[in-house]
A and B are shown apart, each in its own frame.
Chain A
Amino acid sequence: MPEVEVPLEKWTGKVNEVRLGGNGRQAVVVGGEATFPFLQFEGAIPNRPAVAIEVLDVQPTGWPSQLAAAWGNVLADPALWAKKAAEYGADIIALRLKSAHPEEGDTGAEEAKKTVDKVLAAMDLPLIVLGPEVAEKDNIVLVAASEAARGQRIALGNCEEKNYRTIGAACIADGHVAIAKTPIEINLAKQLNILLCDLGVSPESILMDPTTGALGYGLEYTYSVMERLRLACLTGDGMTSMPMICTVGEESWRQKESKSDIEVPATWGELEQRALIWEEMTASTLLNAGADIVVLRHPKTVEAIKATIDKLMG
């Protein structure tokens, strides 16, 4: 029968492999792809993308009821929540130290350390710790988290232009991975990676967060910047070769489409399914753009996206 010769790209670069956990905890390695997402006919994809579940250190307020109900009373305790998340199939726990935000309790280093200790003890998955996204407070609580988890190879985020030095230094000192977050811009992403490497963080200890726009709320920008970053990586640019992490759950559950049942057009359809599809579609689309870790919120999304990843990996 006739053969068609499919054009293969000869990529010269590949995504760095980054290990989280290990040393007594479960280990997860992400990255390593030598081609575009899931194109196994062209290049090696040694590791599957990982699913992280987001855990907050304060009881979330303003979460849509179906999301809150899916977790029930564990929401009041990050350790129980993390344990439950592990049961629900998380590969990684992403702990957000939201209580450190000046408007959410303004907690400090002590509390951060306690929470991290508790969460680490409650389950044996690798951990990501995210600050409240207020640069000064991020510095304080992430350094505390770093010390608390010394040797456990957690990921600390976010390093931004303003505070990458402090967090980067903590990662070097305690053997962790730095998450470099930039606002949907390829040059800024590359620049921050360079700054971190100049500081002494090894390229194998950096994850990139390109900034997530949810479906209907900037998804297309994130999608394209991720494709461009991956293209740059595969064509040999080592400073864009870090695995990518996307905060899908946080962005998609914030949107009106995931929250509102009243005063929305009937053509939006039933809320429960719409909201789940919103998170799933944001996640799956970004996985197809090159996400190596997606941070999710709803257990059903976790289940669906894990099944999707299984199928994509073949």
Chain B
Amino acid sequence: MALTGIEIYKFLPKTNCKKCGFPTCLAFAMKVSQKGVDITVCPDLSPEAKEALEAAGRPPIRLVTIGGDKRKIEVGNEVVMFRHEKTFYHPTGLMVRIKDSAPAEAIAKVAGEVAGYSVERVGMELALDGLALENESKDAATFVACVEAVKSKADLPLVLMSSDPAAMGAALEKAADGKPLIYAATKDNWDKMAELALKHGCPLAVHEAAGLGELAQLVEQINGAGIEDIVIDPGAHGFAQSLATLTQLRRLALKKSFRPLGYPIITFPGESSDTVEAEAVLAAQHVAKYAGIVVLDHFSPSMAYPLLTLRLNIYTDPQKPIQLTPKIYEIGAPKPDSPVCVTTNFSLTYFSIAGELESSGYPSWLLVADTEGLSVLTAWAAGKFDAEKIAKTVKDFNIAESISHRSLIIPGRVAVLRGELEEELPDWKIMVGPPEAMDIGGYLKKMWSA
């Protein structure tokens, strides 16, 4: 967490010697806290103070980057237990596992599918974040071949999974430029894995299922070898255990600033699930409850899409709904005789109706009122989408100028506004659309003739 000037001041020599170029140590501390100057500018800072300052300034959960310059993800650096306390910042990385013992065609197929998968929701492109390649064959050459095959198909961040440092080393020769996550250092191989991580500058996962104490001890050994970019795997399986363990880890990091476990967590929900749906549901729990990376054993769009939607929900800033600028949006290439609809500026609302208008075959004018990011009914209940507001939107954006008719379609859920609107907009014909956006196509077909 960022330190205040006063907190930094406590660590300074307090001699006001001015060698830093500031009149006093306090003035210097203030500037450091605003990130205007680096702490190392003070030449008299003791090594202990330096370390203490660094430690205090460090985020409680380290931010770890996986992937090369082209495509990478950042996980960790979360600061709260509950999203309402602030927000969750770094969306859980969702990856799919490929085993090197699978047939070559299957490997290529999954890699291509995962890399090519992307789905639009509320105007955003949601995609999966990477592939985890497992050396199930226990054979180095097979592992390397798998890595190469995947790299030729998918330009995604990778996790390389092998307990054999030799196989890992061979794979890294081919893949290190993409800064994959090395999975995993264990009690038995950690020194060799640490060497590889240092040599290639890659983040290292640490796997220890015996207990949090054992995991912390192993992490400290690896820290001692000079490695900081760590992802931890406490080996927590199943719903209850993973919820308990991941909650404990988050608490240790945030509430006790317990450094050895202050790292993002990786989970494998498929390992304890007997159906694809169960895997999806457990993965969803890990997204909401504290995983940094979730590796799936299955991939299908019908599972990926709900999961990506959940991640979007959980990682949306609760302080500000996703919203867009109120104005006239042209759906397709509307003409003077095209329909005019009105809606609110909550993204979810806008994209629901905009998407349906687009596929309805009727190019349209979509008036978006400023409801401060609230949905139709919420805004209506809050008094931010009433007849007056709609009339004002119609007038302010001067839609009349672009069209040859005077018909306005309002959302079915606010049908009650019709009467008042007719008074507010006497020249207009107010039409009540269907309650659900998906019925707008049928409605226009039946009702629209300008």
Contact = CB atoms under 8 A, between A and B. Distances in A.
Contact of A223 (B288, B305, B375): B288
Interface in B236-257: 238-241, 243-244, 247-248, 251-252, 255-256
Nearest to B314: A220
B383 to A, nearest CB: 14
Of A4, A36, A271, A273, most buried by chain B (CB within 10 Å of CB) is A4
Nearest to A289: B288
Contacts of A271: 302
Given A39-B244, A277-B303, A281-B284, A224 B318 contact: yes
B276 to A, nearest CB: 7
B118 A215 contact: no
B303 to A, nearest CB: 6
Contacts of A72: none
A37 B281 CA distance: 16
Interface residues on A, range: 35 or more
Interface string B352-376: 1000000100000000000000010
Contacts of A281: 280-281, 284, 306-307, 310
Given A260-B438, A269-B301, A227 B213 contact: no
B445 to A, nearest CB: 14
B333 interface: no
Interface stretch (A80-88, A142-150, A304-312): A304-312
A285 B216 CA distance: 30
Interface in A215-266: 215-221, 223-224, 227-228, 231, 256-257, 259-260, 263, 265-266
A269 B277 CA distance: 13
A304 B310 contact: no
Interface string B213-249: 1101100000000000000000000111101100110
A288 to B, nearest CB: 6
Given A269-B300, A311-B238, A304 B278 contact: yes
Given A4-B261, A277-B303, A220 B83 contact: yes
A280 B248 contact: no
Nearest to A266: B301
A218 B214 CA distance: 41
A183 interface: yes
A147 to B, nearest CB: 33
A220 B214 CA distance: 35
Given A6-B212, A7-B251, A40 B277 contact: no
A224 B84 contact: yes
B150 interface: no
Contacts of A105: none
B120 interface: yes
Contact of A312 (B239, B251, B309): B239
A257 B306 CA distance: 9
Report, nearest first, the 4 A-B pairs whose CB atoms are least far apart: A269-B302, A269-B301, A2-B213, A267-B119
B212 A220 contact: no
A314 B381 CA distance: 42
A3 interface: yes
26 contacts: A1-B213, A1-B214, A2-B216, A4-B212, A36-B247, A38-B240, A38-B243, A41-B248, A216-B309, A218-B375, A219-B313, A223-B83, A223-B288, A231-B82, A257-B306, A267-B119, A269-B300, A269-B302, A270-B300, A276-B277, A280-B281, A285-B284, A288-B285, A288-B289, A311-B238, A311-B240
Given A219-B310, A311-B240, A269 B303 contact: yes
Nearest to A274: B302
B240 A223 contact: no
Interface string A283-313: 0110010000000000000001001100111
A223 B314 contact: yes
Interface in B316-353: 316, 318, 348, 352
B117 interface: yes
A267 B305 contact: yes
A265 B120 contact: yes
Contacts of B348: 216-217
A3 B305 contact: no
Given A267-B119, A288-B289, A308 B281 contact: yes
Nearest to B312: A216
Interface residues of B, number: 62
Contacts of B82: 224, 227-228, 231
Given A41-B248, A215-B313, A288-B285, A227 B240 contact: no
Contacts of A3: 213
Contacts of B303: 269, 273, 277
B318 A220 contact: yes
B89 interface: no
Given A41-B244, A183-B381, A277-B281, A267 B118 contact: yes
A33 to B, nearest CB: 14
Interface string A19-58: 0000000000000000011111100000000000000000
A13 B280 CA distance: 33
Given A40-B240, A267-B301, A6 B277 contact: no
A268 B306 CA distance: 8
B213 A284 contact: no
Interface string B163-179: 00000000000000000
A313 B240 contact: yes
B261 A285 contact: no
B278 A307 contact: yes
B239 A311 contact: yes
A270 B302 contact: yes
B77 to A, nearest CB: 20
Contacts of A224: 82-84, 318
A271 B305 CA distance: 11
B31 interface: no
Contacts of A219: 310, 313
A281 B212 CA distance: 29
B365 to A, nearest CB: 22
Contacts of B214: 1-2
A307 to B, nearest CB: 7
Interface string A103-143: 00000000000000000000000000000000000000000
A277 B83 CA distance: 23
B281 A284 contact: yes
Contact of A39 (B120, B217, B247, B314): B247
Given A1-B213, A311-B239, A274 B305 contact: yes
Contacts of A272: 302
Contact of B216 (A4, A7, A218, A269): A4
A6 B252 contact: yes
A304 B304 contact: no
B9 interface: no
Contacts of B119: 265, 267-268
B258 interface: yes
